[in-house]
Amino acid sequence: GTMTYAGSYSRFFLPSFLNSGAEVSDEVVGFGHGGSRAARLDIDSYGSKAARLAAMAHCGLSVPPSIALPISACRKALTEDGEVSVSFQVDISRGVRGLQRTTHQWLGDKDDPLILAVRLSPAHPQGGLGVPVITVGWTEEAIDLLEDENQKEAACRDLAHTLRELSSHIFNVDEFLFDEKLEEAEEEGPVVWRELYPIYREIAVRETEGKIPLSPSEQLILAVRAVWQSWYKPRAQTYRQLYEIGDAGGIGVLIQVNVPWEDADEVSSGWIAIRCDKSGERKVHGEYFLNGEAPAKDLSKMTRKAIVKDLIAQAETWETRSARAERLDFIISDKKAFVIDGTPLSLTTAAEVTFAVEMVEAGAISKEDAVRRINPAKLIDILHASLDRGQEKRLLSTGLAASPGAATGRIVFSASSAEALKSKGWDVILVCSETSPEDIRGMQSSSAIVTSKGGLTSHAAVIARGTGKPCIVSVSGVKFDAEGKRVEIEGRSFAEGDHLTVDGSEGAIYEGKLALSPSEMSGDLSTLLSWADDFRRMKVLTNVESPNDAALAIRFGAEGIGLCRTEHMMFEPQRLSSMRRIIMANDQSIRESEVERLVPLLREDFINLFEVMLDRPVTIRLFDPPLHEFLPKEHADIANLASNLGIDATDLAFNIDELSETNPMLGNRGCRLLICNPELAKTLVQVVFEATIEVSRRHEIDIKPEIMVPLVAMSREFIAISRLIDDAAQTVEHELDFTLHYKVGSMIELPRAAVIAERIAAEADFFSFGTNDLTQTTFGISRDDAVAFLTTYEKLGLMEHDPFVTIDEDGVGAVIELATVRGREANPNLEVGICGEHGGDPDSIHFCENLQLDYVSCSPFRIPIARLAAAQATLDYRDRNRN
């Protein structure tokens, strides 16, 4: 069957033309320069490298003659004995004969031998599997006949490498036996491969007991096997885990004619790209080599040369045909520029967005494609924080700015402690010499990554960009102590846990904890999101209480407020003390006077909020404080409150003791609190309505508040509070001579409410799933302290995602579905949405679309993510229901 991509990865990264979904083919196929019209290869059958090069040939790029071996052959070999079957060997030699006919060179020939590069072509574009290119075709005889000394050197080096690779990969010879000889030679000066080759050969023959083949055709078969077996390398396994690729797959193999680079003193090989990987704008850059030798030189200085112009033209063709930003590896041979490989540029998210928008403008892709290709979760790094300007900073050191954004956190020295301390709630910054694939999880736990070594395309940088974390590499003046307990940065010493601030956009590291400010949306992101808005069906609302946050959310594209947590409006010290007096006072008159004090303040708050929101919907959730949040805890606070209330501190302490709950999350909160303290609810609702009328009159608009009742379990609770709201509305309407338009809805946060949803829905205008509480109450786990065992669960594979991050579809999701179906049956006009943290999580948003909910509501910073994810969800839903 077809190899499929597990997880959501393929949705975002596979060029559509590479992912043809065609039937899996299992033939050896040839393509490339000099051949006839090139075939299109399907990525599932031949892997990404072969598919890409065949597509390049198809677009008219100069690609060396190549043959592609299907993944199915690898799969067969891996499940059987690891050998290349005789019949498949015949297929390969048929392919090689095709290459011989095209090049007029022959494998094993001594005068003008065909030289082949054997490389892996994994189905997954990022499957870096740890076998280098193996070159076959040189024989000692052919090398002897070479006249040019440089060519001779290069051929000896290639053949020596081939013996080393085949010995180690096929015959399990320790690579060190070769490498120590190389090191010895290097110590004596420039390596002379003509002298080193015989030593390599001797080791290979001795260690393999003469089994190492010296004939190119036999070497070719072993090289294919070496590539196949790399499937089992630990690094390959780590990648498969990381990208959620199943272990069943396999690898395609690409056999490419090794085009010799020109023996010239100009450009001979290198790479070129025509996109800036940071900004996504057009920019020709690259590196080239003279005679294939280091050091690399700057290609952007050579753009007037005809051969480079030709390369730019090829890169442009490829870019508009593939709509992908890639770097092309090339070789100049016989005055012609050959593209030998292409690899995706690792664009920053900002660059991906800019590039996608440009590709739409160039007609290369549709708006829909653009909307689909950006991973919503990655927008975080465009919306990322930067350092507040104008604060005092102490610069410690600088390095290469490898991934943008700013972060502050505590130093950790290893990926494992990053993971451990993150799970305890620390924000951590990983500081180490370099990272490797084994460190992935620790890196994901870190807010930023700092390495003393490495470059802009090294592991740390690539992963950081991919996951949207600030990263600085090659930081100068970094010294780690021997025990790995301290680090010295430019002479200043730090221990694990010390605060550091990192600016990944500038490549600067600062001491201590600095203030960060959020970034604004770029023009291109706004464009992309406006396209997303055209596709998406669900509304995107926000969870805010303050006018400032509301304004920010509107800038990010929120259409209204889906959750205004009124208890959060009480956390300011003055108000908190009023709240405490209301709760603690025995005397009704004290309560009333405190409520009187709060009323104008709250009215002003709602007026300010409505002033920002104007005619957008605003959903106001009635008080839902876990009571303990309002009880004084410190001695001094208790004494203070007691003297304010004119009561004895011991009495008060006793009172507090009585009120405090063992499990405040399941205590007297939500509608329970409102039913026990109806005056609180009434006052709050009156204030909301008064503010509504005030702003409606000011602007001559119709403000439509939606009042939401939290933690409802029984329809009677909801009905009781609804009545109270209606009464309050009538009073205000009467007093102020105004007709209010408001809605009353219920939060669904308890399984019982879901089960009896039809009874609540019959009385309600809308449902809003409080998925935070609903997750905690459905699982029976506390949202405050579940991390300890959830981490273990995730490690053991008992749980795939933290259910507080992504909706647990099987359980919590089923409860949501039940309530939605029953609710809508009883009340076809019922509006349904979610407002828990899940409202900003792309996978959960997909789930909501599948249930055809009406809206999601999330925090301001996740609004752009939600807009994009909701658009993708609509498109996916449409696709699925079309088929």
Q: Which amino acid makes up residue 786?
A: A
User: What, of Mg ion, ligand PEP, none, does residue 771 touch, CB below 5 to 8 Å by kind?
Assistant: ligand PEP
Could you say whether residue 749 binds ligand PEP (CB under 6 A)? Answer: yes
Residues 6+ apart with CB under 8 A from 317: 59, 60, 61
Instruction: Report cis status (omega within 30 of 0) of the bond before 295.
Output: yes
- 509 to 568, contacts with ligand PEP by CB under 6 A? 563, 565
The whole-angstrom separation of Cα 318 and Cα 812 is 46
**Nearest distance from residue 73's CB to ligand PEP, in Å?**
52
Return the range that interacts with ligand PEP (CB under 6 A); candidates 114-122, 336-344, 547-555, 766-774: 766-774
The question of whether 169 is a catalytic residue gets the answer no
Structural tokens at position 101: 């006919």
Q: How far is the CB of 613 from ligand PEP (least distance, A)?
A: 19
| Residue 160 Rama label (left phi>0; alpha psi -120 to 50; beta) | alpha
In the complex, least distance from residue 773 CB atom to Mg ion, rounded to whole angstroms? 4
Quote the least distance from Cβ 744 to ligand PEP, whole Å. 17
- Residues 596-625, mask of contacts with ligand PEP (x by CB under 6 A): ----------------------------x-
Regarding 782 and contact with ligand PEP (CB under 6 A), the answer is no
Q: Which stretch binds ligand PEP (CB under 6 A): 291-299, 356-364, 391-399, 764-772?
A: 764-772
Q: How remote is the C-alpha of 433 from its chain's centroid?
A: 24
3-state secondary structure of 717: helix
Which of Mg ion, ligand PEP, none binds 108 (CB below 5-8 Å, type-dependent)?
none
Give the nearest distance from C-beta 757 to Mg ion in angstroms.
17
Segment 72 to 91, residues that bind ligand PEP, using CB under 6 A: none
> What span, in angstroms and rounded, lies between the C-alpha atoms of 672 and 670?
5
Q: Which does 423 bind (CB under 5 to 8 A by kind): Mg ion, ligand PEP, none?
A: none
CB of 836 to ligand PEP, least distance (A): 3
Judge whether 746 and 832 are in contact, CB under 8 Å: no
Q: How far apart are CA 848 and CA 835, in angstroms?
A: 11
Binding residues for Mg ion restricted to 555-584, rule: CB under 5 A = none
**Binding partner selected for residue 157 from Mg ion, ligand PEP, none, CB under the kind-specific 5 to 8 Å limit:** none
Closest CA to 672 of 729, 627, 613, 606: 627
Report the greatest alpha carbon distance in the chain: 109
Instruction: Write down the catalytic residue from 169, 384, 459, 846.
Output: 459
Cα separation of 218 and 285, whole Å? 40
837 binds Mg ion (CB under 5 A): no
For the beta carbon of residue 183, count every other beta carbon within 10 angstroms: 11
Residue pair 469/403 in contact by the 8 Å Cβ criterion: yes
The least distance separating ligand PEP from the CB of residue 833, rounded to whole angstroms, comes to: 11
Q: Residue 563 or residue 830: which is nearer to ligand PEP going by CB?
A: 563
Contact 538, 853 (CB under 8 A): yes
The yes or no reply on residue 771 touching ligand PEP (CB under 6 A) is yes
> Alpha-carbon distance 476 to 170, whole Å?
41
- Partner from Mg ion, ligand PEP, none binding residue 849, C-beta < 5-8 Å depending on class: none
Q: Per-residue x/- mask for ligand PEP, residues 620 to 649, rule CB under 6 A?
A: ----x-------------------------
Question: Which one is catalytic: 74, 564, 835, 848?
Answer: 835
Query: Given the rule CB under 6 A, which of 72-80, 262-270, 410-418, 765-773 is the region that contacts ligand PEP?
Result: 765-773
Instruction: Round to whole Å and give the CA distance between 462 and 453.
Output: 14
Using the rule CB under 6 A, which residue among 95, 122, 836, 860 binds ligand PEP? 836
Segment contacting ligand PEP by CB under 6 A, of 293-301, 318-326, 770-778, 821-829 = 770-778
State how beta strands 428-432 and 406-412 pair.
parallel
Instruction: Measure the CA–CA gap between 684 and 621, rounded to whole angstroms.
Output: 10
CB of 550 to ligand PEP, least distance (A): 17
- Within 614-677, residue ranges assigned H as helices are 635-645, 649-659, 671-676
Residue 358 interacts with ligand PEP (CB under 6 A): yes or no: no
What is residue 753's three-state secondary structure? helix
Site string for Mg ion, 701-740 (x = CB under 5 A): ----------------------------------------
- The footprint of ligand PEP on residues 695-734 (CB under 6 A) is none
| Token couple for 824 | 């809508």
862 binds ligand PEP (CB under 6 A): no
Give the C-alpha separation, 288 to 297, whole Å: 5
840 is a contact residue toward ligand PEP (CB under 6 A): no
CA distance linking residue 206 with residue 220, whole number of Å: 21
Which CB sits closer to Mg ion, 626 or 632?
Answer: 626
Binding of residue 773 to Mg ion (CB under 5 A): yes
Residue 10 interacts with which of ligand PEP, Mg ion, none, CB < 5 to 8 Å by class? none
326 binds, among ligand PEP, Mg ion, none (CB under 5 to 8 A by kind): none
Pairing outcome for strands 499-503 and 508-511: antiparallel
Query: Hey, what's the torsion of the CAs at 346, 350, 356, 361, to 10 degrees?
Result: -130
Q: How far is CA 347 from CA 276, 311, 344, 445, 460, in A?
A: 8, 21, 8, 22, 14
Q: Name 385's bridge partners.
A: 518
How many angstroms separate the CA atoms of 440 and 445, rounded?
9
> Could you tell me where the DSSP H helices lie in 668-813?
671-676, 678-699, 715-736, 751-755, 757-761, 771-779, 787-795
Shortest reach from residue 817's CB to Mg ion, in Å: 19
Nearer to Mg ion, 286 or 770 (CB): 770
Q: How many residues bind ligand PEP (CB under 6 A)?
A: 10
Q: What dihedral angle (degrees, nearest 10) is formed by the CA atoms of 559, 560, 565, 568?
A: 80
Residue 621 Cβ vs ligand PEP, minimum distance, rounded to whole Å = 7
The residue among 257 and 721 lying less far from ligand PEP, judged by its C-beta, is 721
**Residue 835 in contact with ligand PEP, rule: CB under 6 A:** yes
Residue 424: alpha-carbon gap to chain centroid: 22
CA neighbours closer than 13 Å in the CB half-sphere of residue 207: 22
Nearer to ligand PEP by Cβ, of 28 and 711: the residue is 711
Residue entry with tokens 């909020």: 609
> By CB under 6 A, is residue 770 in contact with ligand PEP?
yes
* 216 binding ligand PEP? (CB under 6 A): no
269 and 330 in contact (C-beta within 8 Å)? Answer: yes
Applying the rule CB under 5 A, the residues between 738 and 767 that interact with Mg ion are 749
- Choose the one of ligand PEP, Mg ion, none that binds residue 836, judging by a C-beta under 5 to 8 angstroms depending on kind: ligand PEP
Among Mg ion, ligand PEP, none, the one that 835 touches (CB under a kind-dependent 5 to 8 A) is: ligand PEP
Residue number, 557 or 770, with CB nearest to Mg ion? 770
Q: Which listed residue (770, 813, 839, 842) binds Mg ion by CB under 5 A?
A: 770
Q: Which does 15 bind (CB under 5 to 8 A by kind): Mg ion, ligand PEP, none?
A: none
Q: What stretches of 380-478 show up as alpha helix (H) in DSSP? A: 415-423, 440-445, 459-467
Which one of the spans 214-222, 252-260, 590-598, 769-777 is the region binding ligand PEP (CB under 6 A)?
A: 769-777
Nearby residues of 469 by Cβ (< 8 Å), 6 or more positions away: 381, 403, 405, 407, 443, 446, 447, 448, 449, 504
CB 342 within 8 A of CB 329: yes
The interface region with Mg ion, picked from 21-29, 771-779, 808-816, 817-825 by CB under 5 A, is: 771-779
User: Phi/psi of residue 68, each to 5°?
Assistant: -115, 130
835 is catalytic: yes
Q: Which two tokens stand for residue 850?
A: 């599948």
For the CB of residue 68, give the shortest distance to ligand PEP in the complex, in Å. Answer: 51
Dist. CA 500–CA 399, nearest whole Å:
15
Q: Binding residues for ligand PEP, per CB under 6 A?
A: 563, 565, 624, 749, 770-773, 835-836
**Catalytically annotated residues:** 459, 835
Q: Binding residues for Mg ion, per CB under 5 A?
A: 749, 770, 773
